[in-house]
Each structure stands twice: as structure tokens, then as C-alpha cells.
Amino acid sequence: MKYSMLKRLFYLLVIVFPLLSFGNDDAAKHFKRANDLYAKSQYKDALITYQQIIDDNHQSAAVFFNMGNAAYKTGDIPSALLYYEKAHKLSPGDEDIKFNLKYANLKTTDKIDVAPGFFLSKWWRAFILSFSVKVLSVWSILFVLAASGSLVLYFFTNSVSVKKASFYSALALFFLGGLSIFMANRQLSYFDDHKQAIVFSNSVNVKSGPVDKSRTLFVIHEGTKVNIMDTNSGWMKVSLANGNEGWIKTTDVKEI
């Protein structure tokens, strides 16, 4: 457990640097070219160009968000939802992504009511997903650096009032830095524990077991989001937002 936490902390401290460097290489050129193609209504060509950015390991919420917009313009709702969900995963607090995701879901066949949950769980989820890991990583570094600066001032100043102010400022800043790291760590754990996928087949029979001869429990359609619970020899146990569960083939979905 401690080793896992240390790995996450290291990840949070270094993730910001490659993210901030986006735009200084070919990815920026591809991004601009894809945006130009989108502006000219060449949505399929724009998608291909955006995909080149992803293939070069330059994932970002902005790229996936634009891919979602382009896919939506072509009428490919399942792909649009997949890209919006990927963007949401990278930037869960972005209101534009939330709006487009909600709007695209209106185009799906299945209208699934969300099962009621404990209000504290909802509050906690909203809290840890209020900002992206990228933002939280930047904040954690800035808070720790500012706290370190306050401590330096505390040790070298001769003024009692300045000492007191810098000491308590350092405590507050270290607390905020730790809180940022904690929130980012919980967010990473949340997405690790909540694997989801989008249905891409027109119609999918959800079975009672991981075999074709199993009884069909219900039917879902393309664009529906499912929670991944388990996998077994080409089959996937899934649950819906309303709590219904069953087995579908892994080829019917694409994981977010």
C-alpha cells in the first residue's frame, strides 16, 4: 500500500512537466491542422489528424473533446461519447465536456435512470473530481514551493511578526499542497476502480452468464455506458447505472 502511494506521489509530481510541454513539438502542428480541418467541416480528416496526436502519446482533454465534437458532427454517437468520456476522465471538472457529454447522451436509444446513492458518496465523488489531475499536480507543486519559501523567510527574518506570519503561512500552504496530492491520488484510484465502456454494437443481448446459450436478461443499444465488473474468455460482466447486471461480449464495447 505504501509503495503504491509513493508511486502515485512520484507520478503526481512529474506528470505536470510533459503536460506543460504540449505545444512545443509536432503535436501542436497536428492539433492546429486538425482544428483547421474541423473548421472547414472536414470532420473525418480532422479525426484522423487528432488520432495522430493520440498515437504519438500526447493525450489531452482538449484533443479528446475535439474528437468528440468531430465524431458527433459525422453522426457517430458512440464514438462521440467515447471521446467525451475520455476527455472527462482527464478533466472531470470541465463544464463544456459535461454539457456535450450530456447532450450527446440524448441521442442514445437507452434512457437509463441512475440508481439513488448515498448523498455523502455523491459529495465525495464530486469533491475529488472537481479538478483534473493535471491542475491538482500543478497546484501541489506550487503550494509546496510557496510553503518552502515561507519557511526560508521564517528562518532568516528577524521580525517577530514576519516570523509568525511566515510560519503559519507555511503550515497552510503545506496543508493545501498535501490536500491537492490527496485529491489527485483519490481521483486516480477512483478511475482505476471504476472501469467503464461504451457499447458500439447496434443491439446487444445482455446474458445471465458468459456463454451464448445463457438466458437473455435485457437488451442495450449503441452509445450506452456500462460499468465493467469482470471479464471471462471474451465476455465481460457489466452493470448499468440503474443497477442491472449481466454478461456481454467484449467485442460489443470499447473501453473508456
Number of other residues whose CB lies within 10 A of the CB of residue 177: 20
> Which pLDDT does position 114 carry in this prediction?
76
So what's the pLDDT on residue 58? 86
* Residue 123 confidence (pLDDT): 84
Cα diameter, the chain: 81
As a whole number, the mean pLDDT across the chain is 88
139 Cβ partners below 8 Å, 6+ apart? 131, 176, 177, 180
Name every residue whose Cβ is closer than 8 Å to that of residue 12 and which is 6 or more positions away in sequence. Answer: 133, 136, 137, 140, 181, 184, 185
Mean pLDDT of 143-155: 93
The predicted structure's pLDDT at residue 245: 96
Identify which of 48, 44, 89, 37 has the alpha carbon closest to the alpha carbon of residue 65.
89
204 beta partners: 220
Quote the pLDDT of residue 125.
Answer: 81
Asked whether the beta carbons of 196 and 224 are under 8 A apart, the reply is no
Cell numbers describing residue 64: 479528446
Residues 218 and 238: beta-carbon distance below 8 Å: no
The answer to which of 99-108, 112-121, 151-160 has the lowest mean pLDDT is 112-121
pLDDT, tens digit, for every residue of 195-217? 999 999 999 999 999 999 999 99
Q: Which has the minimum average pLDDT: 130-134, 183-187, 222-226, 228-232?
A: 130-134
Least confident of 10-19, 60-69, 114-123, 173-182: 10-19
pTM for this predicted structure: 0.77
Q: What is the pLDDT of residue 79?
A: 97
Smallest CA-to-CA distance from 131 within 189, 170, 88, 174 is with 88
Q: How far apart are CA 196 and CA 117, in angstroms?
A: 18
